[in-house]
Amino acid sequence: MSTETPSRLAALARTVLRLAGIAGFALATIWLLDWCQTEVGDSARMTALVVILTVYAVLLAVPFVPGVEIGLTLLMVRGAEMAPFVWLATFLGLSLAFLVGSRTPAAWIEATVRDLGLRRLADQVRRNSGRSSDALLQDLCDRLPGWLAPIVCDYRYVTFAVLLNVPGNAIVGGGGGLALMAGLSRLFKGPAMMLTIALAVTPVPLAVWFFGPNLLPWTQ
C-alpha cells in the first residue's frame, strides 16, 4: 500500500471528526434550547431566556447552522420587548465567529484546507502566513478583475454587511460562516468589523422594536 493512501485516509478521518464535532455541538445546543422552552417553569423564565439567548448567540457563530431563525422566532413570539436582546445576541454571535477566525493559527488553517484536498489553497495559506493585512489586501486587489477589485477591496465592509443580510446566504455558510471567513482572511480590522456587524444586524430588531413583530412578512 502506498504512503499516500494512509495519509488520505487520515485526512478524511480528521475532516469527518471536525464535521461530527460541529454537528454534535449544534444538536446539543438545540436540545438545550428545546428543554428550556418546555421544562422550565415560570419562576425561572428569566434564566431560561438568558440561556436561550446565549445558545442562540453560540449557534449563530457556527457556520451553516441556521441559528438566525431562533432570533426571528423570539421576535415573533415575544415582540418588541425582545428586540434589544436579540440584537445583542446576534452581534455577540457574529463577533465571536469573526474573532475565532481572526485568532485561528495559520498552521491549523493550512492543515484543514490540505485535508480537504485543496493543496493550492493550502500552499497559498502557507505563503501568506505572517504577512500584514495590507499586503494581503493589495495582493487580492491585484488578482481580481478590474470591475470587481473596487467592490471587494475598497468597499469590503459594505460588501460584508450586504452579504450578511442577503436572503439565502446559508448556502455560503450563513452569518456565522461569513463572519468566520472574514476573520480567517485577515483582511478586516477588528474595531471596524465590530462596528460593521453592529450596524448590519440592526435593521430588523430596530424595526420590530418600533413597529412590533407584525411588520415581519411571515406573520401576516
Does position 4 have pLDDT exceeding 70, yes or no?
Answer: no
**Can you tell me the distance from the alpha carbon of 156 to that of 85, in angstroms, rounded to the nearest whole number?**
28
Mean pLDDT across the chain, nearest whole number?
76
Domain count, the chain: 1
List pLDDT tens digits, range 67-101.
Answer: 666 677 677 766 777 888 889 989 999 999 999 88
* Weakest mean pLDDT among 82-86, 109-113, 146-150: 109-113
167 vs 56, 157, 164, CA distance in Å?
Answer: 19, 18, 8
What's residue 124's pLDDT?
75
Judge contact between 48 and 11, C-beta under 8 A.
no
- What integer pLDDT is reported at residue 220 of this predicted model? 46
25-47: pLDDT as tens digits: 656 656 765 666 665 555 566 67
Dihedral (C-alpha) 158, 163, 167, 172: value to the nearest 10 degrees? 180
Check whether 152 has a pLDDT greater than 60: yes
CA distances to 12, 173, 211 from 113, in Å: 12, 16, 46
Q: How confident is the model at residue 1 (pLDDT cuts 50, 70, 90)?
A: very low
219 pLDDT above the threshold of 70: no
CA distance 142 to 197: 27
Q: Is 201 exposed, middle or buried (0-12, 13-18, 19+ CB in 10 A)?
A: buried
Mean pLDDT on 151-166: 87
Q: Distance from CA of residue 117 to its chain's centroid? A: 23
- The parent domain of residue 82 ranges over 4-219
Mind listing the pLDDT tens digit for each residue in 8-30? 777 677 667 766 766 666 566 56
Contact 188, 98 (CB under 8 A): yes
Place of cell 441559528: 67
Q: What is the pLDDT of residues 44-68, one digit of tens each?
A: 666 767 777 787 788 788 776 666 6
